[in-house]
Structure 1
Amino acid sequence: MIPCLGEEEAQAAAEAVRSGWVAQGPRVASFERSFSAAVGAAHGVAVSSCTTGLHLALIAVGVEPGDEVIVPSLSFIATANSAKYCGATPVFADVELATGNLTVETIDAVRTPRTKAVIAVHQAGVPFDVLSLRRACAQWGIALVEDAACAAGSTAYGSPVGAGASVAAWSFHPRKVMTTGEGGMVTVDDPAQAARLRRLREHGMNVSAADRHASAQPILESYLEVGYNYRMTDIQAAIGLVQLSRLDGLVAQRRSLAARYHELLEGIEGVTPVRDPAYGTTNFQSFWVLLDGIDRDVALSELAAAGVSARRGIMAAHVEPAYVTDVDLPNTMRLTKDSLILPLHHKLTESDQDHIVGVIRKLA
């Protein structure tokens, strides 16, 4: 993944520096409004990363020590970590093979009376079935937190991922389709929840530093609860506003490149590429292929020898030393052991794709 950054982003960052307001300020507020509108949410709360956003989201929905939070093992480890930050126990669920996402059935298989929340991931930009999962979690009386780290620009049932979500967390890491360097966002529909999230990201203060500095009269702040330093800077937000204006074009380009990969890979035995689910579209933040009869590690080595920087498939948290757990997650293990991620970025050319697929064709 190569971030798509240019002179416009550089100028926006420079203007923020020249303004003298480089910490959380007016550009952060503008980015919050613009991003939440783009994904169909009522409120946006900018944070320092998607991980910190997930942590705050779990606090906001009431997760406490002793609770269980269902998470996919097939995800970057931050998904499980955010539950641990709250003193809760992450409970690993399997995913479906086609999308890499949780389903109602895989959640229900590990649900217990201690389940307080589910973190469902729109894996690598592939949307999960939002209507089914939202409906099921409401019936069960458990909170659904949407990990939309990779999903800016993806859609589900004709709406942007994030529209209709009670709470969702987003990432602007350089490996994502749009970036602010580091940084994240939490989107919510409840104004009271948004207000609390803003307090929590800023040490639990009842008034933001920006509001205090903008006031003509001294304001003596108070600290309503234990909070965190999870703020985004105005420099990051300035870059984010430019990136957001590019989002539709970036997604269109990625989908065009993905469509060409599909054409080139058609008919190659033992290679199944990721595709749109029936109910939505993916931004193709990552383009993975599932291998059958082809050794994934050999494929990575052969691609590297040919000058191609491919990556292993998405990690499985439950086999990592931090979380090693004896659970049976067959689809998770199949995907993490037998899939690889092919290069897909704005500088990728047709000849690059021809070369990459040529190596895969020889392997097959």
Structure 2
Amino acid sequence: MIPIARPYVTQEDAQAAYDTILSGWITQGPKVEAFEEKFAAYTGAKYAVAVSCCTAALHLSLIVAGIGPGDEVICPSMSYIATANAIRYVGALPVFAEVDAASFNLSLMDVQKRITARTKAILLVHQLGMPADIDSFQALCAKHGLVLIEDAACAAGSAYKGKKIGSHSQLVCFSFHPRKVLSTGDGGMITTSQEEYYLRLKRLRQHGMSVSDRVRHQASHLVFEDHTELGYNYRLTDIQAAIGIGQLEKLDWMIAERRKIASCYQEAFQEIACLQLPREEAGYYSNYQSYALSLGADCPLSRNDIMQQLLDKGIASRRGVMTAHRETAYGDYYPDLHLPISEKASDQSLILPLFVGMSNEEIGQVIEAIKQILSGPL
């Protein structure tokens, strides 16, 4: 079986975790701080705050941005459900907007139509690692006095107009889930260049504590903490951070390897008329966290039929990115909402295997399988 993804974790990463376990400090401590500093430097942001997952990163970012009950936050429905869930965590209402059919990223034109007096923020997703048009959304937010938060769960190492994702906006959220390019098993990060956000995010991730465990542990005099506000247990462990440091050192190389595989797919499928391939515009640089094919109306088979035939050939695939408004948890909130572009893009796309270490033989198997399936009898 060729899997849809496989984390690229080396012996050195395992050794770093092992050494950290034996160091005696295995929760949020010196390795987390080192990982934060290195990640901030990599992205070009002034600060980085490590948390337990990207959902936690989104939740805390919405809190420090001042989003709360009665507010509206515009976001894509076509995104993993965590995007919308984080908005609901703070009591705000997700307002789902359409995506662009080619990039799967938010449609600026559609977002403009959905801004109301209650709109307080736009949650911009870099879908599957493909950067969204940050400049246009920043201009829109400035015009209407809105906060822009970037959901960069899939976009570690991607770049927009020559700068790494993470340095453009004041709140950018990343995921280190095993399906992501940089993985720590699980985990997340928030980048910002605003000191006020940075200091409050660090408190919120640890129950609102005024001083960290590390500061108290290393102090030469008594230090007692105060819990300054309602906070959360969103800490990252030093074990995860030790792995993350090694992963970060390899990130650009891993992305280069992923782009080679994506290039093989692009070249092999470009002549198949019924397929729409990912498109990388000038100034946009994707880490190809995933590679998605979209099926045209003239495709001889349904998306699910293609996925089943791939599975029969020993090749895993995944459906296109979900639409939150059609999930059971959101059905009662949006019973009449119809987003035809998002729904079609979700229903008519599939994600192919792509991971560092994928052999030329495996790449060839996937390519030949797609060609055989689409050239079969109608």
TM-score between the two structures when normalised by the length of structure 1:
0.98
1:317 corresponds, among 289, 305, 324, to 324
User: How many angstroms apart in 2 are the aligned matches of 1:15 and 1:353?
Assistant: 36
Deviation sequence 1:145-170 (CA, Å, 0-9, x none) = 00000001111011111122111000
CA distance in 1, matches of 2:6, 2:279: 22
Match 1:155 to one of 138, 159, 171: 159
Cα deviations by residue, 1:318-337 (Å, 9 ceiling, x for unpaired): 10011122223121111110
CA contact (8 A) 2:316 2:353 kept: yes
Name the counterpart of 2:91.
87
CA distance in 1, matches of 2:105, 2:347: 16
Q: Which one of the candidate residues 111, 119, 122 is aligned to 2:123?
A: 119
Q: Which moved more, 1:16-25 or 1:106-115?
A: 106-115
Distance (whole Å) between structure 1 residues aligned to residue 276 and residue 365 of structure 2: 18
Q: 2:78 touches 2:342 (CA, 8 Å); kept in 1?
A: yes
Q: Per-residue deviation at 1:350?
A: 2.1
Q: CA RMSD in A?
A: 0.9
Runs of 4+ in 1 over 6 A off after TM superposition: none
2:39 is aligned, of 35, 59, 62, to 35
Which runs of 5 or more structure 1 residues have no equivalent in the other structure?
none
What stretches of structure 2 of length at least 5 have no aligned partner? none
* Structure 2 residue identity aligned to 1:42: K
Corresponding residue for residue 332 of structure 1: 342
Q: Distance in 1 between matches of 2:248 and 2:267?
A: 29
How many residue pairs align between the two structures?
Answer: 364
Q: CA deviation at 1:178?
A: 0.6
Q: Shift of the alpha carbon at 1:345?
A: 0.6
1:80 is paired with a residue whose SS is helix
Asked if 1:272 corresponds to 2:276, the answer is: yes
Structure 1 position 279, deviation (Å)? 2.7
Identity of matched residues, %? 45
> Aligned match of 1:140 in 117, 122, 144?
144
Contact 1:127 1:277 in 2 (8 A): no
CA contact (8 A) 2:167 2:192 kept: no
Structure 2 residue matching 1:92: 3-state secondary structure:
strand
Report the secondary structure of 1:323's partner residue.
Answer: helix
> Which residue in 1 is equivalent to 2:205?
201
1:55 corresponds to: 59
- Aligned 1:157-196 pairs, distance under 5 A: 157-196=161-200
CA distance in 1, matches of 2:49, 2:189: 6
The whole-number CA distance in structure 2 between the counterparts of 1:258 and 1:18 is 40
Q: Secondary structure at the match of 2:329?
A: coil
Is 1:291 aligned to residue 291 of structure 2?
A: no
Question: How much has 1:134 moved relative to structure 2?
Answer: 1.0
- Answer yes or no: is 1:281 the counterpart of 2:288: no
Task: Say whether 1:306 aligns with 2:310.
Answer: no
Report the CA distance between 1:362 and its aligned residue: 2.4
SS for the counterpart of 2:330 is: coil
Q: C-alpha separation between the residues in 1 aligned to 2:216 and 2:320?
A: 47
For the residues of structure 1 that align with 2:283 and 2:325, how far apart are their CA atoms?
29
Per-residue CA deviation, residues 29-79 of structure 1 (Å, 9 max, x unaligned), is 110010011111110000000000000000010001111111100100000
CA distance in 2, matches of 1:38, 1:135: 25
Q: 2:25 aligns with which of 15, 21, 29?
A: 21
Conserved in 2, the CA contact under 8 Å of 1:60 and 1:193? yes
Distance 1:132 1:90 in 2: 21
Q: Which amino acid aligns with 1:48?
A: S
CA contact (8 A) 1:74 1:336 kept: yes
Superimposed CA distance per residue, residues 169-221 of structure 1 (whole angstroms, 9 cap, x where no aligned partner): 00000100011101100111101110000000010111111111111111111
Q: Measure the CA separation in 2 of the matches of 1:119 and 1:206.
A: 29
The TM-score, its normalising length taken from structure 2, stands at 0.95
Instruction: Pick one of 360, 366, 370 that aligns with 1:360.
Output: 370
